[in-house]
Amino acid sequence: MITHRYPFFLMTLAALSMLVACSAKDKRHKKTNSNADYRTASMHGSGLRNADIALPNSLSGVAGVSHSRGRTTMPYIAMTYDDGPHPQNTPRLLDMLRQRNIRATFYVIGRSVNMYPHIVRRIVAEGHEIGNHTWTHRNLTTLSDASVRQEMNSTRDAIIAACGVKPRTMRPPYGALRQSQRAWIYKEYAYPTILWNVDPQDWKRPGVSVVASRIINHTRNGSIVLAHDLHKPTVDAMPATLDGLLRRGFKFVTVSQLLALNPPVNMVQAPTSPLPPSSPPMMPIAVSVVR
């Protein structure tokens, strides 16, 4: 008797599985409604993986209008990818990040967000952070405050329309923003200006292995690494780059998470660097270049 019940049981199980799969699919297509907490990506794929890191990412209490690195002495770093989303390169990069359980920050161009909102939804759904990189990618030091405001607002609104979350930080194109502009943008939008302290100059397309070695050799605890998901060779360089950084013991967090790790003033933490003591001090490299 029991034997005869098995086919029915199996059919019921199959029907239930399909129902759950369809329901999960529907959920994937819904907008994220809140930016209270970026979702933590689950473990996928095989091979080296970034640790599952649950850090606060609120920027309240973070001193400083602009940052080129985090102040943590622990081996946390933030990969940042600018000038996307790109219809082919960004999804390919997202696959690479997902395989390694790595979260990154994407400084997106508003007009590209408008063209590829589904990619922005995927970025957020997979636990990454979105930052405001303006609408037209112009040098903001040459624009009036009203024009800068327009760049910020239109990009912010496109991001919200695409994925339902507000950007928490901004990055000026070319890293160009006057101190007075940084101050009023911070006051008005609560965006810290995010620069970087590792720049592989990948936009010059120096070659995949050069991009990877520049990033791996210059990254230190607290580094903010600049790269561009707009360029195919940069994305081609990411498997070697990310695996090299993982092998050195770095843990990947988003920019907001990195800044939330900034120790309060006067608090001294014991260094826990994965690098040997003879490593050179963290130095910004090649910051002010046009790309």
Residues that bind Zn ion (CB under 5 A): 82-83, 173
Burial 269-285 (b: 16+ CB within 10 A, else e): eeeeeeeeeeeeeeebe
How far separated are the first and last CA of the chain, in Å rounded?
73
Find the shortest distance in angstroms from Cβ 82 to Zn ion. 4
Q: What is the residue type of 176? A: A
Instruction: Provide the 8-state DSSP code for 60.
Output: T
Label residues 105-132 b or e (16+ Cβ within 10 Å = b). bbbbbbebbbebbebbbbbbbbbbbbbb
Of 75 and 131, the one with the shorter C-beta distance to Zn ion is: 131
Q: How far is the CB of 235 from Zn ion (least distance, A)?
A: 15
Q: How far is the CB of 130 from Zn ion (least distance, A)?
A: 14
Dist CA 127 CA 130 (whole Å): 10
CA neighbor of 253 nearest in space, from 263, 261, 243 = 261
Give the nearest distance from C-beta 107 to Zn ion in angstroms: 7
Q: How far is the CB of 196 from Zn ion (least distance, A)?
A: 11
Phi, psi of 223 (to 5 degrees): -65, 145
Residues in a beta bridge with 76: 251
For this structure, is 82 an active site residue? yes
Residues 6+ apart with CB under 8 A from 127: 38, 39, 40, 41, 103
Catalytic pick among 133, 218, 228, 231: 228
**Closest CB to Zn ion among residues 79, 246:** 79
Tell me the residue nearest to Zn ion as measured from the CB.
82
Nearer to Zn ion, 173 or 200 (CB): 173
* Active-site choice (82, 83, 202, 236): 82
Residues assigned a catalytic role: 82, 228
